[in-house]
Amino acid sequence: MRTAVHGMPRLGEHRALKWALEGFWAGRLGAEELEVQGAAIRRHNWENLAEAGIDFIPSNEFSLYDHVLDAAVAVGAVPARFTPDGRPFDLACYFAMARGGDLGAGPVEPLDLTKWFDTNYHHLVPEIGPATTFRPDPTKARAELSESAALGIATVPVLLGPFSLLAKSSGAEPGFSPMSRLDDLTGTYCDLLGQLSGQGTSWVRLDEPALVEDHSGEELEALRRAYLRLASLPARPKIAVSTYFGHAGQAIELLRDLPVEGVGLDFCRGGANLRLLDESGGLGTKVLFAGVVDGRNVWANDLSESLSLLDQLGAFCDEVVVSTSCSLMHVPASLRAETGLDPEIRPWLVFAEEKLAELAVLGRAGSEGRGAVAEAVEANQEVLEGRRRSPLAADPAVRRAVAALPADPRRDPPQQRAVAQQTRLRLPALPTTTIGSFPQTARIRAARAAWRAGRASDDDYQELLRSEIDEAIALQEKLGLDVVVHGEPERDDMVRYFAAQLTGFALPEEGWVQSYGSRCVRPPVLYGEVKRPAPMTVEWSRYAQSLTTRPVKGMLTGPVTMLRWSFVRDDQPEAETAAQLALALRGETQDLQAAGIAVIQIDEPALREGLPLRAADQPAYLAWATRAFRVVSAAAVEDTQIHTHMCYARLADIVAALDDLDVDVVSLEAARSKMGLLDPLGSVSYRGGVGPGVYDVHSPRVPSTSEMEGLLRRALGVVAPSRLWVNPDCGLKTRDPEQVRAALTHMVAAARHVRAELDRADPALF
């Protein structure tokens, strides 16, 4: 039985890609040196895959920033602002598409950024319009084929398929559907496949993950026409159409009938694919790339169960290739560096490198029989049984406390709360605030590293943190922000900070995963029952509030985000895990309130991310997810104002759930969309506060006061002045302090100017 991998982690050892990118952007590294670092990471991955005996080794899945951006470049979908005056497309143009910048004709704004399906990876959103001219550019794919061939390693080029590329694009003009360009784009893919075939590759994988979402019959018919054209090319490689992140649904029969040689299906998050294969009569003579090794979680595979599934799948196709469910870019690279993990928990985990070993065992069993891997399977079953029996995974007291929570926790009516909160807070119209974090400076990072290494005492470290809070509060008062934050200098990560203080979490030290570009996160591993042994944020919030008469926001990470941004346990329903997290955080809300904190922000940027990809599954998810939020927030009395924050959330998908959050103010990303993200608010009953971001913190560009004023005026077309807040898109952790100072200065000025305009126009509005 042959084996396949969708893709590998891109960061390299010790986050080499991150440091190379940031060095290049800062001017410390040249383009050639950056390319050399990328080549080194690719070589490392290919050699690891070859050593593990993987048969289908991918190429063209590595990216210097984002694979969707790469796909747009490969088909020529580069908006004109990124090649001003006919400028040749180069790395500066490429990174301007991702981050914005100045290409010689003035500042250009980057492409929009959003979540890749229901993962915590962010992708750039291509802009497709009726005038977009598609041109094939196989430079990157062909270069990587040559690179791998020079190493003696045959690889399979990976392209994001034309249907999914358009599904993840936005219209360059209002109301335009990118999918209407599928026929035109297919011609470009025909050219790409022809050029790759000319380089001698025998297979090409076209990724169509959008097929695990709901689509109309008309859209699926357009997909069928596209692949009939691709398959009819006189000289082409074999084509494998791969889906992942869910089941194929009604597209299964289309995949069965397409004249392609291979189909990839996810059997980890798409368990229904087995039933769908049975009901549709299977795939005939096609090769099935069976995704049975989970590319999105870190728990050891049940090898016995996977072998039984592979046996069943053999009846539905000509050949089964055992595969990862999706790219391994969603998990850390290797467990080798994790020497500090609890020895009881460590055997339960597998990262990317260890997943290759699982594939090898499954492939060998398929080729030589189960007897050849009996020892490995037996050892695997012992690990799984040890996890099931571990007292770390079950606490009856936590279960009883969760069962005792109210079925539908709610606060007093929103209108009543609004009056009480304004009486207490006395905020002006268009109040200004930030999302929470301030820049994590080199001084903070160095002090934290010294403290963790034992080179600095607790007292010294806490004194430095207090000085950082002093500076953050003083800056915000000087700039004139209305609701201030303490800046979170004590937090290196909004999830790990809380996970470190709760039971049931393990914290891998080198478990880095790419979020986008050079941004990396280290997801905790949520393995057991969650409890809060002691308050986690109260002392820092109390200290900050002692420095100012302005309200200081208490800052919590919400239960759904804690769950989605961790590697979550797979041995109980996610709703149960979310309820445990909510119960722990509820105690923090109570303690912050008792300490005199009048505004508490419960961040839930992952609420939309967790939305199931199929509409039929979404109501059940939103029911338990919003209830978990209300468990935390319902501890607040009526004059405590509850905020939440959602970034890159595609508000339209969850706008109807805002009432179920029972929140007083929601802040969200809106700058890149020019406030277009707010449009759905006009059609729902939510009447709480709204803080659309007026500047993009993921770009180093500092927008002008007039630019922010323009965004606020657009927001006022949807949100009443009495409801509108003014804030950045997201936290300021990754930005330079001088950028932050300048941007916040402009933001406060913009709010004051627009506030004055409104007051002159109609003082009764306020």
pLDDT tens digits along 215-230: 999 999 999 999 999 9
What is the 8-class DSSP label of residue 551?
Answer: P
Q: Is the pLDDT of residue 27 over 70?
A: yes
Q: Is the pLDDT of residue 191 over 90?
A: yes
Alpha carbons 194 and 93: distance in angstroms, whole number: 27
Give CB contacts under 8 A, 24+ apart, made by 214-217.
Answer: 214/249, 214/613, 214/614, 214/615, 215/251
pLDDT digits (tens, 9 = 90+) for 45-81: 999 999 999 999 999 999 999 999 999 999 999 999 9
Nearest to 109 by CA among 123, 96, 95, 94: 96
Reported as type and span, the H/E element at residue 668 is strand 665-668
| Cα dist from 427 to 239, 371, 445, 644, 725, whole Å | 61, 72, 35, 18, 10
Place of tokens 């996160």: 521
pLDDT digits (tens, 9 = 90+) for 358-388: 999 999 999 999 999 999 999 999 999 999 9
pLDDT at 354: 98
Is residue 514 a contact partner of residue 119, using CB atoms and an 8 Å limit? no
| Cα dist from 31 to 14, 24, 62, 256, 630, whole Å | 20, 7, 17, 44, 49
Nearest to 332 by CA among 507, 528, 514, 499: 514
Cα maximum dimension of the chain: 83
pLDDT at 681: 85
pLDDT digits (tens, 9 = 90+) for 267-325: 999 999 999 999 999 999 999 999 999 999 999 999 999 999 999 999 999 999 999 99
pLDDT at 649: 58
Please provide the DSSP assignment of 693-753 as one string.
Answer: BSS-TTSS----HHHHHHHHHHHTTTS-GGGB-BB-SS--TTS-HHHHHHHHHHHHHHHHH
Could you say which of 486, 698, 746, 753 is catalytic? Answer: 698
Alpha carbons 637 and 255: distance in angstroms, whole number: 54
Residue ranges per structural domain of the chain: 434-765
pLDDT at 394: 87
Q: Is 759 exposed, middle or buried (0-12, 13-18, 19+ CB in 10 A)?
A: middle
CATH of domain 434-765: 3.20.20.210
Looking at every residue in the chain, the average pLDDT score rounds to 95
Confidence of residue 244 (pLDDT cuts 50, 70, 90): very high
Active site residue 698: yes
Two tokens, residue 87: 């400028």
Alpha carbons 11 and 18: distance in angstroms, whole number: 7
Q: Is the pLDDT of residue 96 over 60?
A: yes
pLDDT digits (tens, 9 = 90+) for 652-701: 778 888 899 999 999 998 888 888 888 888 878 898 999 999 999 988 88
pLDDT at 677: 81
pLDDT digits (tens, 9 = 90+) for 514-567: 999 999 999 999 999 999 999 999 999 999 999 999 999 999 999 999 999 999
Confidence of residue 763 (pLDDT cuts 50, 70, 90): low
Reported as type and span, the H/E element at residue 513 is strand 513-516
Q: Is the pLDDT of residue 766 over 60?
A: no
Percent of the chain whose predicted confidence (pLDDT) is above 90? 90
CA dihedral angle for residue 139, residue 141, residue 146, residue 147, rounded to 10 degrees = 110
pLDDT digits (tens, 9 = 90+) for 246-270: 999 999 999 999 999 999 999 999 9
Q: Is the pLDDT of residue 39 over 80?
A: yes
Is residue 53 a contact partner of residue 357, using CB atoms and an 8 Å limit? no
Q: What is the mean pLDDT of residues 155-184?
A: 97
Two tokens, residue 452: 């963790």
Please provide the DSSP assignment of 34-74 as one string.
Answer: HHHHHHHHHHHHHHHHHHTT-SB-EES---SS-HHHHHHHH
SS3 category, 416: helix
pLDDT digits (tens, 9 = 90+) for 475-503: 999 999 999 999 999 999 999 999 999 99
Is residue 529 a contact partner of residue 559, using CB atoms and an 8 Å limit? no
Percent of the chain whose predicted confidence (pLDDT) is above 70? 99
